Amino acid sequence: MRLTRIGGPTVLAEFDGWRVLIDPTFDPPGRRYAFAASTSSVKTLGPAIPADELGPIDVMLVSHDHHADNLDDAGRAMLPSAGHVVTTTSGARRLALPHTHGLDIGQTVRLEADDRPALEITATPARHGPTLLKPIVGDVIGFAVRRAGESRVALWVSGDTVPHPALRTAAAEMDVDVAIVNAGGVRFGLTGPVRFTMTGAEAVSLLDVLAPRVAVAAHYDGWSHFRDGEEGVRAAVRAAPQAVRERVRWLPDGVPVDL
């Protein structure tokens, strides 16, 4: 598998002839975006690769469509050109594109092509903050991507999530090759100590349960709402058990890395 870090949550994964783009965000930095309940964040870093230099994309995985740090204007403009878009059921209704597949947690879609093995993509548990705030924060999913007919997960994407029992149960049950885990510890001034994504320490704890062959951190920089950030993730990895440390790979910006 080849991964290219583009910025924020956006990673290009290439394997078995498939080109899969995760949470496309390609707007330039500097703009403030509004989120739910009067919260907002400024994008501080632009994409390492412009959208028009990526080439054709077979699948775009959109963990949720309603926050600009996971799907911004330039990323949204790319959706019609993808072969498939996979997102939440509610997101598919909002996007209203004919090639969009909406999934609830636990549901699977099979994607086929004449010249490559079929893929099965299953929505995995994600919760973008405390349970009581779900009506405000909205639906989010992760993705388990398998070669059709195989039980092993070739690629798992956590999506934006905090730790919760369903996530840990799913992590314990999956056999994962490559995991992309969103961290950064998102908090807002208006919501005080409440977090909306995992800290580095929480991501490390999850990886200890998941035990993938390779783990990659994502979505920990490039926005003003990260409180743990890159240093928090790196510090947590340095303090992690050796079995976790040996699995983590840090991707350079814009450079394809073969795993």
How far is Cα 231 from Cα 215, in angstroms, rounded to an integer? 17
Name the residue among 241, 223, 255 with its Cα closest to residue 42: 223
Number of structural domains found in the chain: 1
The reported pLDDT for the residue numbered 99 is 97
The reported pLDDT for the residue numbered 36 is 87
Tell me if 97 is assigned to some domain: yes
How far is Cα 206 from Cα 200, in angstroms, rounded to an integer? 10
The reported pLDDT for the residue numbered 208 is 97
Domain that residue 147 falls in = 2-249
* CB-count burial class (<10 Å; 0-12, 13-18, 19+) for 115: exposed
Tell me if 254 is assigned to some domain: no
Q: Please indicate, yes or no, whether the overall pTM of this predicted structure exceeds 0.95.
A: yes
The reported pLDDT for the residue numbered 98 is 96
**Per-residue pLDDT tens digits of the chain, which is 259 residues long:** 999 999 999 999 999 999 999 999 999 999 999 998 889 999 999 999 999 999 999 999 999 999 999 999 999 999 999 999 999 999 999 999 999 999 999 999 999 999 999 999 999 999 999 998 889 899 999 999 999 999 999 999 999 999 999 999 999 999 999 999 999 999 998 888 999 999 999 999 999 999 999 999 999 999 999 999 999 999 999 999 999 999 999 999 999 999 9
Q: Where are the alpha helices (DSSP H) in the chain?
A: 73-78, 89-95, 134-137, 165-173, 200-210, 229-238, 242-245
For residue 76, what is the domain's CATH number?
3.60.15.10
Name the residue among 142, 187, 129 with its Cα closest to residue 169: 142
